[in-house]
Amino acid sequence: MRIPRDLSSADLVKRLGKLGYAISRQTGSHLRLTRNEGGEHHVTIPNHDPLRIDTLAAILDSVAKHRGVSRDELLELLLG
């Protein structure tokens, strides 16, 4: 599945929230999300609309690696 090119940070935060991530803090224009299930995992997301493709790819790779799935499987979970 292709990475969406028009995904905003607010939309990504909402979708990651369904996987157990919650905003733990905000510093300037960056949001820090934390997930405690399956070991603590932190993801930093710039508060931009839309997110750059390479930035989004790095975030998705980090989340996929923590969950033990591929990026495509994670995109299916997030975007349905």
Confidence (pLDDT) at 11: 96
pTM: 0.91
Q: In Å, how far are 11, 34, 39, 57, 71 from 79, measured between CA atoms?
A: 10, 20, 24, 14, 12
pLDDT tens-digit readout, 23-35: 999 999 999 999 9
Q: What was the pLDDT predicted at 16?
A: 96
List pLDDT tens digits, range 54-68: 999 999 999 999 999
Fold of domain 9-79 = Metal Transport, Frataxin; Chain A (3.30.920)
For residue 29, the tally of other CB atoms under 10 A from its CB is 10
Distance CA 22, CA 28 (A): 17
- In the chain the beta strands, taken as DSSP E runs, fall at 22-27, 30-35, 41-46
